[in-house]
A and B are shown apart, each in its own frame.
Chain A
Amino acid sequence: MTMLKTLAPYEFKSRDAVENYQGRQLLYVNWERHRMFSRPFVLAMKPETPFSAVLEEMAACFSYHPDWQHIDWDKAIWQNGNTPFTPDRNKTLAENGIGHKDLIRFRTPGLDGIAGTGY
């Protein structure tokens, strides 16, 4: 229950409500144990965008890391938040069950960053 106390009625909209994105939705992407990129990145995409578009954005950012070219894509482990899932690159974000402000966590077992440091 909220602990907010105010002198007057206090009702404001979420600044990041999905309707503020003109038909698009926010998506965060993180490559786990590759902290060189410091933090996940954020995209705004229409829910009907194919997941392959996310993969392209990932490649544009993450390919700077020497581990990128060693990824065994069949062994990659995907989570949406804390829930495991298997994305289909030809299906849309909506069909892959990805909603507004979801966080994709991408794991590549055996690849733990520069010198195994997690970076």
Chain B
Amino acid sequence: MDMKATKKLGLKERYSLMTRDLAWDTTYQKMEDVFPQTTYEGIKIHDWDKWEDPFRLTMDAYWKYQSEKERKLYAILDGFNQNNGHLSVTDARYINVLKLFLGSTPPLELMAARGFSMMGRQMNGAGPRVACQMQAVDEYRHFQTQIHSISNYNKYYNGMDEFAHQQSRMWYLSDGKSFFDDAITAGPFEFMVAIGFAFEYVLTNILFVPFISGAAYNGDMAAMTVGFSAQSDEARHMTLGLECIKFMLEQDPDNLPIVQRWIDKWTWRGTRKLAAVGMMMDYMLPKRIMSFKEAWEMYVEENGGALFKDLARYGITIPKCFGQTIEEKEHVSHQSWIGFYMKPGATPFHTWIPTPDEMDWLSEKYPNTFDKYYRPVLEFFDAQEKAGNRFDNKTAPMNCQVCVSTMKFNEPGDPMEMCFRESIYKGEKFHTCSDHCKEIFDNEPEKYIQTFISSHQVLQGNCEPEGVDVNAPDFQPGKQILDYWKLDKRALGDFNGSEDQKNFAAWREQATKN
């Protein structure tokens, strides 16, 4: 008897059967009642089937690829950990990069997972729904693998164990938290512009270069492997973000001004978020890859510039803040490091003054600004520390109402002057760090009057460890803030003299000498 073998399905057919073909239009309830989120932002979509899926990835193929990557990743992590890989990093200062990264990034990956899960429910079209679901799983995977890669360091070094507690409480983590809170409380299309486009497409390289290449340069195989394992996902995410922008712009001309405003807003919010990344590159990596300024030129000015040129055919113009980001690339990393250096008692990672060699590197990389504005004060701090008078600014910060950065940026065109902007809403003053943050505030003040500013919350008596009576007559807000933050006291202070520094030196000696 003849057997007629069924022809194996092609990629396109398979994709169609396993994604779009599984979707249906509702009949018991009106579609607009089931999917109210895709219309209220003002974006007009006429035909969801026009959404192009650049990868045509089906769920079964997705699981297969991802599990292969996981197996490789965990094999390398195990090997690294079993061989005391932590002792092969350039020097113990490097571990502070991981502490900063652990507090600031995995929790945001988790927020991205939550955001894309919501998008997977809110979008009408089956194409974007499937893509968003996969991205949600990716983001969850990144959240986990980043923590796993760093967990081995937590056995040996101080300040890493309470990152989850600190995420929504610590002053310096508020900027990233606010970034994602803002995005996730917007509608689905704004979320896609915020995270899928501005963050993933325009700015993500700036975050991943110092982390992945920085890890590789400094002997951290664990973090490097996590980075590489995430990279193919990132390519998919970038494509989804760009596809969403193009889809909105092609669907209706009325979408253009809305999309443009979101691009302006989120490129700026992302830029502010990345100021701390600049200081990782320029100050915290013992072996530097490139300066933050060089990275900005390559990834944002050149690549980002080319992208906006490409979008010009839809009427998109370069983000309003672009000029200011170019001016600031010579300043923000130094301003950020000074901002952290002066708070040795308020972060779970150490800070330090660059060595003379490292200062020379900074002079060479920042010929217009480093010697003129930043070297003298760093040398002053250095001399003070050596004289036993290490700088410790015990005051609480003023923050921007929108980006929640501390107000540490200069007036455009004048690096010696601070930049302050102010809005009045319902009789109350609100301070912002820049024209761009002020514009974001003024566009939607109802949203930003709710901003969580850590120093203000302390003064309201809302940041006390359990058991403190805020109504007691001698109550002093903030007196026990370190306990509220669950800050490990061994992780505070200058790197010089820290337990990490001593232990690393002792263990490395044991590992390399008789």
Contact = CB atoms under 8 A, between A and B. Distances in A.
Nearest to B399: A39
Contacts of A42: 395-398, 455-456, 459
Nearest to A58: B395
B426 interface: yes
Interface string A13-43: 1111110111010101010110111111110
A64 interface: yes
A100 B394 contact: no
A109 interface: no
Given A10-B446, A119-B376, A16 B456 contact: yes
Contacts of B451: 15
A76 interface: no
Interface string B448-462: 011111011001110
Contacts, number: 154
Interface stretch (A48-56, A87-95, A110-118): A110-118
B450 A39 contact: no
A46 interface: no
A81 interface: yes
A14 B430 CA distance: 10
Interface stretch (B63-71, B130-138, B413-421): B413-421
B85 interface: no
B99 interface: no
A32 B376 CA distance: 17
A113 to B, nearest CB: 7
A36 B460 CA distance: 27
Contact of B37 (A7, A16, A30): A7
A10 to B, nearest CB: 6
B223 interface: no
A42 B393 CA distance: 12
A40 B407 contact: yes
Interface residues of B, number: 57
Contacts of B416: 33, 35, 112-113, 117-118
A115 B376 contact: yes
B449 A15 contact: yes
B335 A38 contact: yes
A38 B373 CA distance: 13
Nearest to B337: A38
A86 interface: no
A39 B376 CA distance: 18
A81 B407 CA distance: 14
Given A33-B416, A117-B376, 19 more contacts: A3-B261, A12-B450, A16-B456, A17-B428, A22-B461, A24-B459, A26-B456, A30-B420, A35-B377, A36-B377, A37-B342, A38-B335, A38-B339, A38-B408, A39-B339, A39-B406, A44-B459, A117-B416, A119-B373
23 contacts: A3-B261, A7-B36, A10-B446, A14-B428, A21-B460, A24-B459, A32-B417, A35-B377, A35-B416, A39-B399, A39-B407, A41-B393, A41-B396, A42-B395, A81-B422, A100-B429, A103-B431, A113-B416, A114-B376, A117-B376, A118-B373, A118-B416, A118-B417
